[in-house]
Amino acid sequence: MGTGAHPDGSLDASVEIQIQLSPTGGCLVVPRTVLDRSRTTVTSSGDLNVSQVSAPARLYRKIEVPKEFQTTGEIDGQSLAFGGDIRVGDLTGDGPPDLLVYRCDHLSELKPTFLGAFDLDGQVIWQVGSRGAQPLRPGPVAVFDIDGDGSEEVITFFHQPSGNTPRESMADVVIQIRDGSTGELKLEAKPEILIACEGWGSNWCHHRIFIANLRGLPKPSDFVIKLGEKLLAFDNHLNLLWKYEIEWNAYSECSAYIPSVGDIDGDGRDEVNGGYYLLNPDGTPRWAKQLAPNMDSVAILPWDRGIPRAICSGGGHVLDADGNVALALGEHVVPHGQEVRVGNFLPNEAAPQMAIRYLGHHPDILMVDNNGHVLHDFKVNSSPNETGMEVIHWNGPKGPDLLYNGGALFDGMGAVAVSLPGLPDPIGPEKMGWYHAIPGDFCGDLREDVLVYNPWDTTVYIYTQDPLDESAYAGYSAGPRQYNARLMD
Ligand SMILES: [Ca+2]
Ligand SMILES: [Ca+2]
Ligand SMILES: [Ca+2]
Ligand SMILES: [Ca+2]
């Protein structure tokens, strides 16, 4: 249970929350929280307050994107060599993970046009296309064994230029499934429903492919993508399973830019959380309502008593499978819920907490306990876009978890617990020009490692705990934290 304790041991008497939780639904939470902004803790990676719990980081791998995969761009009048957006997966099927770099067409910067596979030694595996532009945002490329044959594929949109197709149109885009070890095309489709999609702007530009188990098969074999006002679901033969038209699309009042998939009711099939809707595996809405403005970040994750809930950044909401509100921090506490992450950040708490970036594109974070108590109000370090948080199970499955942001790992009180040695200052513009993180067990024991990359640079870094015991490694196993990595920009 939350104590409202601050790092100095004091209790925050200004936090007062009434909660009525009912297992049958109809949950009601009435938060009455007055935040004491003077209690802000450590604010930057330069102000180290190293945790006694977490092992320090060591650089496990520094991987150069192969020279022939790099391209150049003009940034502030300077020529800059860069790789692009990165995905991780065992493309070669031999156990260790490999990397995929991709870039997009120059007109929209959204349609993949180059794919390059390489291993952790920086050796080329294969490539398709050439050059291309920096993706506008993390885009529609996933690595997963979508056909269940034991080796991974690349599931991707791909640009097929045709005349003067405008940047807003998908008429020059196909869906492809490529062999992970060779890059050879296994399947390609150009569904009418896809090419009819068009759009531009902030609700359009986050084209992400989410691997999902919609049909209740032994393994996930489907995927979901949001294209502006539409959600499309496909099976592994690239047949359309369903489409969903989103009702709310106006700026700051739209549903989540990037939805999230997960099995909220434990029946073996995934639901889709878009913040203002929860879709059944067949694409029908289970509930739909406009909860709160700025529904920028969502998840389906265990919350109270280990039960999966819909986590929604707008207004700091937690909802059950039927749309009953289990927790609502309210817009006075969370005026602009830019990002939300759930983890066991605090060592003495049985239930997970919520880290919520509550003032939009700013570094201000609230750490909220399972009952809705605001425990800590702190600033993380700055990234140009002020996004990019991720939970890292740095101390193993039992935690405490750390919060990645901008090339450092923060503890649940907002102190930098682990710094990442040898990480140069980020280069590049505001968009994509900072260190994005993918969590995973890439080496050593079961404690989770972190892969970081700056799309505008040419190097991928993997950090693990020091000391490293390579003999303790159980091997790479991809889960949704890798193949559905929650990259945000
Ligand atoms: Ca491999
Ligand atoms: Ca496969
Ligand atoms: Ca389900
Ligand atoms: Ca590890």
Report the separation in Å between the CA atom of 216 and the middle of ligand 3, taken as the mean of its atom positions: 9
What would the two tokens of residue 38 be?
A: 């003077």
Instruction: Say which ligand is closest to the CA of 119.
Output: 1
Instruction: Say which ligand is closest to the CA of 95.
Output: 1
Instruction: Say which ligand is closest to the CA of 92.
Output: 1
Report the separation in Å between the CA atom of 437 and the middle of ligand 4, taken as the mean of its atom positions: 15
Report the separation in Å between the CA atom of 297 and the middle of ligand 2, taken as the mean of its atom positions: 30
Instruction: Say which ligand is closest to the CA of 117.
Output: 1
Structural contact between residues 100 and 115, judged by C-beta atoms closer than 8 angstroms = yes
Report the separation in Å between the CA atom of 214 and the middle of ligand 3, taken as the mean of its atom positions: 8
Report the separation in Å between the CA atom of 145 and the middle of ligand 2, taken as the mean of its atom positions: 4
What element of type H or E holds 189? strand 185-189
16 — pLDDT class (breaks 50, 70, 90): very low
| 70 HSE (CA, 13 A, CB side) | 17
What integer is the mean pLDDT of 177-204? Answer: 97
Cα–Cα distance measured from residue 370 to residue 2, given in angstroms and rounded to the nearest whole number? 8
53 — pLDDT class (breaks 50, 70, 90): confident
* Model confidence pLDDT, tens digit, residues 95-140: 999 999 999 999 999 999 999 999 999 999 999 998 999 999 999 9
Structural contact between residues 381 and 405, judged by C-beta atoms closer than 8 angstroms = yes
Q: Which residue has the higher pLDDT, 214 or 29?
A: 214
Report the separation in Å between the CA atom of 248 and the middle of ligand 3, taken as the mean of its atom positions: 24
> How far is residue 69 from each of residues 74, 91, 147, 233, 455, measured CA to CA in Å?
17, 17, 27, 31, 13
The terminus-to-terminus CA distance of the chain in angstroms comes to 33
Structural contact between residues 378 and 35, judged by C-beta atoms closer than 8 angstroms = no
Alpha-helical (H) ranges within 75-156 are: none
Report the separation in Å between the CA atom of 475 and the middle of ligand 2, taken as the mean of its atom positions: 19
Report the separation in Å between the CA atom of 215 and the middle of ligand 3, taken as the mean of its atom positions: 10
Structural contact between residues 315 and 328, judged by C-beta atoms closer than 8 angstroms = yes
Report the separation in Å between the CA atom of 308 and the middle of ligand 2, taken as the mean of its atom positions: 29
Taking Cα atoms as reference points, which of 463, 419, 464 lies closest to residue 444? 464
Report the separation in Å between the CA atom of 400 and the middle of ligand 4, taken as the mean of its atom positions: 15
| Residue 381 DSSP SS3 | coil
What integer is the mean pLDDT of 423-430? Answer: 94
Instruction: Say which ligand is closest to the CA of 118.
Output: 1
Structural contact between residues 271 and 321, judged by C-beta atoms closer than 8 angstroms = yes
Q: Which residue has the higher pLDDT, 202 or 20?
A: 202
What protein residues have CB closer than 5 angstroms to ion ligand 2? Answer: 145, 147, 149, 151, 153
459 strand-pairing partners: 64
What integer is the mean pLDDT of 322-334? Answer: 97
* Model confidence pLDDT, tens digit, residues 211-266: 999 999 999 999 999 999 999 999 999 999 999 999 999 988 899 999 999 999 99
* pTM recorded for the entire structure: 0.90
Size (the chain), residues: 489
Cα–Cα distance measured from residue 351 to residue 342, given in angstroms and rounded to the nearest whole number? 10
Cα–Cα distance measured from residue 462 to residue 439, given in angstroms and rounded to the nearest whole number? 9
Q: What are phi and psi of 17, to 5 degrees?
A: -135, 135
What pLDDT was estimated at residue 466?
98
